[in-house]
Structures are given as C-alpha cells and as structure tokens.
Structure 1
Amino acid sequence: MGKVAGHTFLELGCGSGYYTRLLLKNGANHVFAVDFCAAMIQELPRAGVTPIVDDAASVQLDIKFKRILCLGLLEFVPDAGAVLYRARELAEDGCLLVILLPADNMLGWFYKYFHRRHGIHVRLFTIDEIKAIGDANGWVLEKMVFKLPFSYIMRFRGV
C-alpha cells in the first residue's frame, strides 16, 4: 500500500474494523468504512471514520479515492467483478487497490470447508482468475505476496 499517513482510504468489507484501526494507528487521515452488516459497522471506532452500511458492489459516494482496501471480502461475495467494478468507479486514476484473499491451495480448502460447515460459501480464486477480474474492471496487478499460512496480498493500480 505504501505510505498510510495523511491519506484518506475507502475500505470495502471493513467488518468490525480490524484494518480500519490499523490504518488510523498508522496515521491515516480518514477511513470511509463500508460493510453490509450494520452490527459490524457499530463496532468501528468513531474518530476518523465515516461508517457506511451498504453493499460493496453498489455503494454510492460523492468522493474519489487514491487508496482502496478490500481485505477478506471477495471470497464471500457472489460477484467479485461487481465489487472491483464499483471500486474502480470510486477510484481516482492511478489509485492503489490492495486485496487480501485466501489462496486456492490445501490450507485455503480447509478455510473453505470450515466456513461451509457454518453455512457460509467461500470462493477460492486462482491468481489468474483474480488477475483477469481485475483486468476486466480497470485494475492492473502490480505486486503480489503470498502470506503464510494461506493468503495472497495483491496490489493493483487503477488504469
């Protein structure tokens, strides 16, 4: 992601604010935090955050962003392309988008199985699949890191 301090972020799928808090702790100017679950939004810190209960694939805002996070969301949504399309619509040209998602490997399969046992569908993406979804929605993959035990961190740039 690069420098956090002084930047305003859009966080799609913020949950209860784990990454929101990290951004603020590292000097983020402000975080627009979007989640579909109102109960999760209630857990967000109050200072420096604009909480938004909405769908990441259709949220409407009157601001464009230079930094967007989508951490631990895409594997749970029915249409990852719709989320990346909406992110691009909310992005300035050259915007950085960071995605965190589970790898399509043995540990990722255990992650998927765990969630399925709790009635939650998880989609695992191959690198080529997520790259193609990004390409189709105005994002170019710049860097990817595998983070143990089973996650990919991917940085895209809006074109």
Structure 2
Amino acid sequence: MTDQFATLGQEYDQTQELPFVQYLEMPGVLPVIGDVTGLSVLDVGCGSGLYTRLLKRRGARRVVGLDRSAGMVDHAREQERRDPIGAEYVLRDASDTAGLGTFDLVFGAYVLPYAATFGHLAEMCRGLADALTPSGRLVTLVANEDFSDEPGWYSPYGLGLRSRNGRGDGAPLVLTVSAGDSGFSVEAYHWREETYARALRGAGFTAPEWSDMAPSEEGVQRYGAEHWQAYLSRPHARIVSCTKA
C-alpha cells in the first residue's frame, strides 16, 4: 500500500496552526472527548502526533499514537525525542491493535475514511474495539456524507474536499489542505453514516452518536460569526462517538 503521508511530517505539523483546527475542530472535539485525566488513550491515525501530545498534556496517564505511515511515526518519534512528554508511538494499521494493552479511550482524527473497502472498515472498527476496556469510548472524526462539492466552499478554512466518483460507499475522496506557504492533498474514501454505524455495531459498539463542530468564542470574536457560516451549513467532517458494549 502506498504511504501517501510518508514525506508530509512538516506540512502536517503546520495544519495545527490553521484557524479551522484551533477555533473549530479542537473546540468541537475536545468537549466530546471530555476529561482524560488519569486515562489511558490510544490515538489512532495519529499522524505527526498533534492530538497524542495534546491529550498527554491534558492529563492522560498513558497515550499511545498509532499510525500506518512510517514517515509519520518517525516524525512523531522525533518530536518526542526533542520534547519528551511520555508519549509512545507504534507503526501499525488501525485494524492491528493486539498487544498494545487496553485503553479507556480511543480517539481517531479522520482515520476510518482511509478504509478503501467495507471489509477493511469493519476490520478497523474491530481493531479499535479490541483496544478498549469494557465500556471504553471511541471518539473519531469522519468525512461528512453531505459535504459540499462546490469549488472553493472550504477554501476560507484552508481546506478542499471533492469526490472523484459520486457519493456511493467507497467512492474516492480528495482532501486538500493549505497550511502556511505549503499544502498537500491525500486520498480517502466516502462512507455513508449508516455504513459507519453498521461497521461499528458489527465490531461491538453501541449505536454511534453524531455531532457537529462549532467555533469557539475566540474564533467568533477573531473572525466574526459570518466567517464560519458556510462551513457550519455543510461541514466537511462530523464527530462520531460510541461505547464498547
């Protein structure tokens, strides 16, 4: 499988500076995650370790970042060497969590959309469930099935999202991110909410709960409420949370 993230470590780091991430994504995701003090957390699809480090600094007892990109894991480990906070990183697919121990919380930012087939999606969901303690929680971000295909819709937020072949399950998606003076594009796959729910329930999770992100008060003050309206009307991603039954 081609590692489309292999050389994107620096660019991926720059995404944390995007106003979208600072004022919309994080303020939307962190309240759903809740207090992680003393918890063990697995950050699946950790990329360069943005949320891995953040959750460790917010009081998690143990945090492990997992990613199938060797380039991303190497970059995240280098970050840990330069600024040690006690985060661990492993090179694996989300479907392979055996031997890592069990966790109170599994978080995944945009990891499930990289499943190219329903079979792989189901395997990933089973891997996430296997990593959780009984009644452990999964919180993850996935592409919104009702995202806007209109050119430029998400450009005010440094994003772009388009479908290559309609909106059916498994249709390729292209996500573009513009961060600072650089940018990158990666390919993921479209799945309907009912398909995600079927894969999650099949893996032993409760029925998923869906929620949308909202800008922080600081984000509204800095950019104005109108700036966020286009995104809020057709978000490119949604938050899904569920519990291991």
User: TM-score category by the smaller chain?
Assistant: 0.7 to 0.9
Task: Tell whether 2:205 aligns with 1:146.
Answer: no
- Partner deviation per Cα, 1:18-38 (whole Å, 9 max, x = no partner): 211221231222211111112
Give yes or no for contact 2:105–2:136 (8 Å, CA) kept in 1.
yes
Matched positions, count: 159
Work out which of the residue numbers 138, 151, 161 in structure 2 matches 1:97.
Answer: 138
- Partner deviation per Cα, 1:35-64 (whole Å, 9 max, x = no partner): 111221123242221110111112322411
Look up the SS of the partner of 1:132 in the other structure: helix
Higher fraction of helix: 2
2:114 alignment partner in structure 1: 76
Structure 1 segments (4+ residues) deviating >4 Å: 116-120
- Partner deviation per Cα, 1:77-102 (whole Å, 9 max, x = no partner): 23211111011112111010011011
What is the CA–CA distance in structure 2 between the aligned matches of 1:87 and 1:96, rounded to whole Å?
Answer: 10
Give yes or no for contact 1:29–1:48 (8 Å, CA) kept in 2.
no
Give yes or no for contact 1:13–1:34 (8 Å, CA) kept in 2.
yes
What is the CA–CA distance in structure 1 between the aligned matches of 2:149 and 2:194, rounded to whole Å?
Answer: 16
Give yes or no for contact 2:114–2:189 (8 Å, CA) kept in 1.
yes
2:51 alignment partner in structure 1: 19
Long gaps (5+) in structure 2: 1-32, 151-159, 164-172, 177-183, 214-231
What is the CA–CA distance in structure 2 between the aligned matches of 1:7 and 1:130, rounded to whole Å?
Answer: 26
AA in 2 matched with 1:49: A
- Partner deviation per Cα, 1:66-86 (whole Å, 9 max, x = no partner): 111121111112321111101
What is the CA–CA distance in structure 1 between the aligned matches of 2:111 and 2:92, rounded to whole Å?
Answer: 13
Give yes or no for contact 1:81–1:134 (8 Å, CA) kept in 2.
yes
2:189 alignment partner in structure 1: 123
- Between structure 1 and structure 2, the one with the greater Rg is 2
Question: TM-score w.r.t. structure 1 length?
Answer: 0.87
Q: Please provide the CA RMSD for this pair.
A: 2.3
Question: TM-score w.r.t. structure 2 length?
Answer: 0.59
Higher fraction of strand: 1
Taking every aligned residue pair, what percent have the same amino acid on both sides?
A: 20
2:3 alignment partner in structure 1: none
